[in-house]
Structures are given as C-alpha cells and as structure tokens.
Amino acid sequence: MKGLLYLVILGLICCTNGKISEGELKQYLNDVYEKEASDQCYKTAVAQFDFETDVRNKKKEELTTNLTLEQAAWEKSVWTKYFKDVVPEEYEDPTIRRELKFLKVLGSAALEPKKLEKLNEVNNRMTEIYSTGKICPYKNHKCDLTKDGLTLEPGIENIMSASKDYDELVYAWTKWRDATGAKMKDLYKTYVELSNEEARANNFSDKGEYWRFAYEDPQFIDNVDAIWKEVEPLYNELHKYVGNKLKDRYGDKLDMKDGLLPAHVFGNMWAQSWEHLRDLVEPFPKAGQMDVDAQMKKQGYTVLEMFKKSDEFYQSLGLYSMEMCYNESAGAMIRKPTDGREVLCHASAWDFCDKKTFRLKMCTDVTFEDFRTIHHEMGHVQYYLQYKHLPYSFRHGANPAFHEAVGDTMALSVSTPAHLKKIKLLTNFEESYESDINTLMNMALEKISFLPFGLLIDKWRWDVFSGAVQPEKWNSHWWHYRMKYQKVKPPVERSDTKDFDPGAKYHIPGDSQYIAYFVAHILQFQFYKSLCIEAKQYDPHNRAVPLHRCDFYNSVEAGNKLKAGLSLGSSKHWSETLEIMTGSKSVTAQPLLEYFEPLYKFLKAENEKLSPKITVNMSTMIIEKFGPNNTRVLFSRKTEIHTDQKM
Ligand code: X8Z
Ligand code: ZN
C-alpha cells in the first residue's frame, strides 16, 4: 500500500518537472525498489538452482524461463519509469550517484522479450550439452553412452589427472571436445549475436565492453596486459622446467621442438592447473612429502567434514558462520546426486537475494583439490554475508575479481604446511629450504600455471564479440592464444569447420566472464600479504620468515581487515576498497612475485643447467596459419633458437 502511494507520487513528479528529487528517489529505492528487486531475484534464483540441479527436467527449465522473462519485464518497467532518463551527476549524494550509475544499465531486459527468450534457450541448450556431455571409456570406445558413458566429474577428470598413457590422454582430451564444444558451435553464433544486441541496447559497443564495465577502468586491457608481462618470465621458467620433466615421462611421443607443449599432458583437461604433475616435478623428493589426499583418505574424511573445516577457518578470523550454505536439508547440493538427476557439476555459490538463503552447489570428492575449491566457494558466500546490509545495487564484489579472490586467499593460508599440520592433514614435515621449494612448486603448479589461461579466455571472447575474428576462424584464433600465452598446442589436428574447442570449457557455454580469475590470481597475493602483516605472521621489512610460510588462522585482526573491504560491496570504486584492504590503490603483481621469489631463482638456475643456450622468445616465436584445407602449419619466425638434447 505504502509502495503504491510512492509510485503515484513519483508518477506525478516525473510528469511535472521530469526530474525525481533526491529525497524522493532515496525513499523509492529504500521502500519499494529494494523489496521488489530482491523478491524478483529470489524467485528466479530458486528456479535456476532447481534447474541446474536437474538439467534434463523440462518443467524446471520452463519455470526458470518464465520467471526470467517476468523479472526482465519488471526490470524494464521500473527502469523506464525511474532510471532511464536520470542524470546521476545531477544528484548530490555520492552514494545515490553511484547507485544510479549501476541502475542506469538495464542489462538483459534491454532485449525485446522474444529475443531474450531465444538467448535464454540458447544458453540452456549449451549448458545442457556441457553438463550432460559423456564419452566412452578408452578400452570400450564403442560403448553405449547412456549405460557406460563417463561424465566430466568425476570420470573424465580422473583420467586426465591420473593417466600417464599418452594415447589414452589424447583420446579423453579429443572425445570431450567432440562431445561438448563441437556440438555447440552454431548455438554459440546465435549467442554472440544476441549478446551483442543486448550490449548495444545498453549503449556498449559489444558484450566484451559490457563485461569490462564492471572493472571501472578505462585502461583495463592495457593493465591486464602489463600484469601479464610482469609474471610471464616466471611462467616461462615453470613451463620450461615442467616441459623437460614431461619429456622424461613421454620421450619421443612428446614433441617440443617448437617450444610448445601438447595441451593434454598436464593432468587437467584445459592445462589450466598442473597440480597433478606434482610427483613428476617435485624438486626435492626426499624433503618431506605433502600428500594431503592420502591423509584425508586415511582419516576417513567425509564431504561434510571438509565443509565444516573450511567454515571453522573463516570463523577463526571472527567472520560469519556459513553453515546454511552447505546444509543439504536447506537445499545445498554438496555431492553429485545418485537419484538419476543430471546436474551441472561445476562448483558455484548462490546468493538468493533475501539476505538469508545462500547455497553451494558442488560435486565434491574427498581430495585436497576439492578442499581448496570449498574454501574458494565459501569465500563467495562470506562476501554475500558481509555485504548483505547494503542496497540491492551494491550487493556485488568491488569488482568481479574481488569475489574470486577471497576464498583463494583463505586457501593460500590453509595450504601452508604449518596450517596443514595444525589441522592434522600433514605429518612428518620439516621446514627447510628444500621443503620450501617443494611447497612453492606445488603452489606454482596451481597458481602460476593458471595465469595465461585466465588471461586468454576473455582475450579470445573480446575478439569474438568485437568481430575482430569471424566464426570461420574462431577455433584457430583460440589456438593462436593458447599457443601465444600458455605455450601449448593441440595434440591432434584441429579444424575450423568441425571443432569449437572453447566450448569444452564451462565458462564459455556458461556465459560467465573469466578475466576475473586472472585478476583474482594476482589480487589474492595482495590480500594474503596484507592479512599476513595484520596477523603479525609476516614482516615485509625483515623477511626472515618468508611470505609463503604465513598462516593467519585465528587472527581476528586479519578478519577485521578483510571485513572492512568486503562489507563495502560495490558501494565504492574498487581502488578505494583495495586501499582499505591492502594499503595499495592498484592491482600489482609485486606480492605474487615476492611470494614466489625463491622458486623463481631455483627454476632459473635449474633451467640454465638444462639448456644454457636457450634464447627463445616464446611470445614472438610462433605464427600459426590455417591453410586452405584447414591444415595447421606452424613455423617459427625467430631463427635464433638453440635447443638442448631433450628438445
Ligand atoms: O569456476 C571456478 C570456480 C567457480 S567461480 C570453481 N574457477 C575457475 C575454473 O574452474 O575454471 C575457479 C578457478 C578458475
Ligand atoms: Zn568463484
């Protein structure tokens, strides 16, 4: 009733002088918009969660679509009436100005309903292909997929991480791409067209520019490029060190003469994390084993215990309990269902916009890798809780990278040998130079290996959305970036007509921007260093105890520092929030480089011993061309390439 009264008053005001007064706008936002937006968001989120945990269920899909369209219609009507013509600069209160900056961007509701429905349908089809993709086992490659087909999680991922059979890995790598990406190429074309139309209806030049808007940085592309340049030397040393070990494992099967490594031998479907190569590349095998997986199995860890342990870590910093988000009776999905439902396993954290419903969705295995993913997901939920008091339009991360960095920061502390000892997941581990290098290598296999992948996915999509590359060249352009940044190549020939390899990675069909993870992999070391200093676990002026040994467990001071930033949501420009959290106004790779410094020195020295003459400049070395029949021709432009015996 009260809401209706405001609508009437505002309606009159709009029609008389064309501008809503500041007081009235505040009142509308507080008393009407807040509740309506939250209610709309809640209904859609519940339906979307139900659908993603039962992706073959047509009724659930239909309900999700209907509610999405209903929400869009509501958004459009409110936007047209209140936000479309407002000029944020005309208002005095900086908070209102900032709220309006966000509210002026209508989003997907800017598409006409038929087109929005179509975009929704295309997204659902791509999600269905990805989440139900199956392949036959290597030894039974003509199997009946419905009976014996392997799904990505856990089946295919286990092959990729555990198999040392080069040909089996080629098989799993190729079949996964046949089962997913190749089937969505045409859908992706429609997706790009409609997504761009949506972006243009919101006054952006294309969807890439629309996504980058969230970073509030006109120099964003240049800045991420500059960060990459800072960390690339470390990546190159790691790549070279790991490449030589892989050569030991695969011998003649592995061709690395061109400086590129085949993409399927890194223990991961996308070569984005190399942690499963740990045993192969461990620098000092005698200096203490970090076999946390084995400890978890030995102690009979359960999935639920993993979530509780993570929750306990956050609470030790004086942060909120997150019990509700992994409570299965409250709707959370923390393991893969066994009742016949097919689900989208890719881990995610959900905010249902009602300030009290938060859920995780994850097909958890009892492994250290999943233990860290739990910390990552809990980081999202902690953020949701910390900013839940804010107005609806500020209930976001300072920028998307902040959201991705929170849980990873916790995992950096949890992954230290010191912490793993405290929680009894590590025994017989003595700290020494050698064990430090082993630990840093484990971290680099997860964090440094990821950097070029984190960067290239959206580099590719920005080019696709802007039209810099046409659909006929999408796949070869993908491989151009894979070669340029990750320095990996496909193990078998790829074609621009048949293949669509980007679609074999969740975030492409999932319409989920990715550069956030690249920035987060830099930012999390800034957060970590700051929290370590706050917890008095690291002294940057007297680096007697190195940064990577810091565990800020139990530090309420560290928790308070984190809270001070997270509780601002997106109400301030991220540089202000970052300054509060770290003392720096800009994203910098310095803490990451400080953390990995001992490993960098070690890698350089080892690599020099291996091949003192290598002077390849990888980033300018490879030019890739697709010939008239889509045959891949690789040739090197630099002549100054010296190889050691192994290449
Ligand atoms: O997608 C994720 C999270 C959910 S936000 C599990 N990550 C990226 C990926 O899996 O590719 C975390 C690291 C990168
Ligand atoms: Zn995440």
Task: State pLDDT tens for residues 308-352.
Answer: 999 999 999 999 999 999 999 999 999 999 998 999 999 999 999
Q: Is 478 in the pocket of ligand 1 (CB under 6 A)?
A: no
507 and 426 in a common domain: yes
246 and 357 belong to one structural domain: no
Q: Look at residue 584 and tell me whether its pLDDT is greater than 80.
A: yes
Query: How confident is the model at residue 472, as a pLDDT?
Result: 96
Residues 542 and 471 in one domain: yes
- Any residues with CB less than 8 A from the CB of 12 and at least 6 apart, and which? none
Neighbours of ion ligand 2 (CB under 5 A): 404
Secondary-structure breakdown of the chain: helix, strand, coil percentages, each rounded to the nearest 5: 60, 5, 35
Does residue 512 sit within a domain? yes
* 642 has a pLDDT exceeding 60: no
pLDDT of residue 290: 80
Residue 563, domain member (yes or no): yes
Residue 380 marked as a ligand binder? yes
Contact in structure between 41 and 74 (CB atoms under 8 Å): no
Please check if 215 is assigned to a binding site: yes
pLDDT band at 630, cuts 50/70/90? very low
> Would you say residue 595 has pLDDT above 60?
yes
Residue 288: what pLDDT?
75
Among candidate residues 200, 23, 208, 196, the one with its CA nearest the CA of residue 105 = 200
Tell me the ligand closest to 369's alpha carbon.
1
pLDDT given for residue 18 in this prediction: 63
pLDDT for position 611:
62
The reply to whether 431 and 361 lie within a common domain is no
Q: Which helix (H) or strand (E) is 214 found in, with range?
A: none
Asked if residue 639 has pLDDT above 80, the reply is: no
Domain that holds residue 63: 1-104
Answer whether 453 contacts ligand 1 (Cβ < 6 A). no
Same domain, 463 and 555: yes
- What is the whole-number distance in angstroms between the Cα of residue 387 and the centre of ligand 1? 22
Mean pLDDT of 615-635: 38
Q: Are residues 490 and 433 in the same domain?
A: yes
Tokens of 199: 């972006």
Q: Which ligand is nearest to the CA of 374?
A: 1
Q: Which of 57, 73, 104 is the last residue of a domain?
A: 104
- For residue 543, the model assigns a pLDDT of 82
> Sorting pLDDT into bands at 50, 70 and 90, what band is 623?
very low
> What pLDDT does 544 receive?
84
Ligand nearest to the CA of 381: 2
Q: CA-CA distance, 271 to 441, in Å (whole number)?
A: 16
Q: How many domains, in total, are found in the chain? A: 3
239 is in an annotated binding site: no
Asked if 33 and 78 touch (Cβ cutoff 8 Å), the reply is: yes
Tell the residue number behind the tokens 């300018």, with chain if given. Answer: 620
Q: Among the three residues 355, 389, 423, which one is the final residue of a domain in this structure?
A: 389
In a domain, 534, yes or no: yes
Residue 327 counted as domain residue: yes
Classify residue 384: in a domain, yes or no: yes
Q: Is 513 in the pocket of ligand 1 (CB under 6 A)?
A: no
| pLDDT classification of 449: cutoffs 50, 70, 90 | very high
Q: Which residues contact 97 (CB under 8 A, 6 or more apart)?
A: 88, 89, 91
| Averaged pLDDT for residues 518-540 | 98
282 with 370, same domain: the answer is: no
Pair 425, 527 in one domain: yes
Alpha helices of 18-105 — where are they, by DSSP H? 22-28, 34-52, 58-78, 94-103
417 and 533 part of one domain: yes
pLDDT band at 638 (very low <50, low <70, confident <90, very high): very low
Nearest CA to ligand 1 atom 12: 517
Task: Report yes or no on 119 lying in a domain.
Answer: no
> Would 93 be classed as within a structural domain?
yes
Indicate the pLDDT class of residue 14, thresholds 50, 70 and 90. Answer: very low
Look up residue 218 and give its two tokens: 């006109």
Residue 291: predicted pLDDT: 87
Kindly state the average pLDDT of the residues 446-454: 98
For residue 83, give the DSSP letter.
I
Question: Can you give the length of the chain in residues?
Answer: 647
Cβ of 373 closer than 6 Å to ligand 1, yes or no, is yes
Please report the atom of ligand 1 found closest to the CA of residue 505. Answer: 11
Report how far ligand 1's centroid is from the alpha carbon of 454 (Å).
10
Across the range 604-628, mean pLDDT stands at: 56
Compute how many other C-beta atoms are within 10 angstroms of the C-beta atom of residue 46: 20
517 lines ligand 1 (CB under 6 A): yes
Average pLDDT, the chain: 91
In a domain, residue 134? The reply is no
Ligand 1 centroid – CA 516 distance (Å): 10
Tell me which residue has tokens 């000092």: 284
383 lines ligand 1 (CB under 6 A): no
- Name the pTM for this structure: 0.92
Which of 324, 355, 389 marks a domain boundary? 389
Q: Measured in angstroms, how far is the CA atom of residue 626 from the centroid of ligand 2? A: 35
Q: Are residues 379 and 254 in the same domain?
A: no
Centre of ligand 1 to C-alpha 97, Å, is 33
Per-residue tokens: 435:
């064990």
